[in-house]
Amino acid sequence: MRRSLLLWPLLLMMLAAPVLADARMTVLVDVLKLREAAEILRIEGVETADELDLEMLDGQGGASWQIQVDAIYDTDRMVETVRAALERELQGDLLEEVIRFYSENPGARIVTLENTARDAIRDPAVEEAARARFAELDGSDDPRLGLIAELVASGDMVDRNVTNAMNANVQFLRGLVDGDAAEMTEEDMLSSVSGDLDEMTDDTRSWLFGYMLLAYSPLETSEIEDYLAFSRTPAGEALNRALFDGFGRSYEDISYALGRAVALNMLAEEL
């Protein structure tokens, strides 16, 4: 009896460890404002789905299409997919370092500015102005642009964004094929997506730099320097990998589901 009682503290510690880790991950999700970001991306996605309705369904998707789109852009599922990637990359001291950086300024302020800019740049006029601002500075020795260029390079952000976009596009085509709305081999899909690689890379670079110039415009130079320094730490690098992996996987799932939904509606129209 005495031996079994002595085991209780150890058992409680073993049970508490996963609970504590889960709680700290919840804190990270909160300080990164991932739910707010997911809602912005959901709005973007609904707008994209409206364009798909016009381009591929002749605007005849109707209420059924909207119901399908709402189910596909599930913010809870998006957050959980990103959270799973964060759990794979960030544990122990790395997790605590990220929480610490984003719990105080400039990290906390940066998250707010990034989400605000992402919401604003959905407006075509704002996007055009942001791209134009980057075009004016591109190739110059502007110090703020130089810091942003270092941020982009430290996270390999252009190539990672292009890769995620291409993977999502392949998944959309795969959804069409699996939904019997198109006939393409795997090679056909890859060829179709990679055919405009240079154009996609240039467009991604223009959008990304324009967005970051917009987002970080209220920051002091020293705050951007602090952000750059954090991005180069093991914790910053792990966070970058997790976010690209998590959001990339989420977009792949969404794109495939959109492809299947488009196929379903195309076939329904033919009946």
Question: Domain-by-domain residue ranges, the chain?
Answer: 26-270
Judged against a pLDDT cut of 80, whether residue 139 lies above it is answered with yes
Q: What tens digit of pLDDT does each residue of 62-91 get? A: 899 999 999 999 999 999 999 999 999 999
Tokens 């079994």 belong to: 4
Who contacts 144 (Cβ-Cβ below 8 Å, separation ≥6)?
213, 216, 221, 224
pLDDT above 90 (res 243) = yes
CB 151 within 8 A of CB 237: no
Is the separation of the CB atoms in 177 and 184 below 8 Å? yes
pLDDT tens-digit map of 189-216: 989 888 888 999 999 999 999 999 999 9
- pLDDT tier at 61, thresholds 50, 70, 90: confident
CB-CB contact of 101 with 28 (8 Å):
no
% of the chain surpassing 70 pLDDT = 91
Sort residue 131 into left (φ over 0), alpha (ψ -120 to 50) or beta: alpha
> What's the pLDDT tens digit per position in 227-239?
999 999 999 999 9
Task: Give me the mean pLDDT over the 115-134 stretch.
Answer: 97
Secondary structure class of 100 (helix, strand, coil): helix
Contacts of 78 (CB under 8 A, 6+ apart): 38, 41, 42, 247, 250, 254
What pLDDT was estimated at residue 267?
81
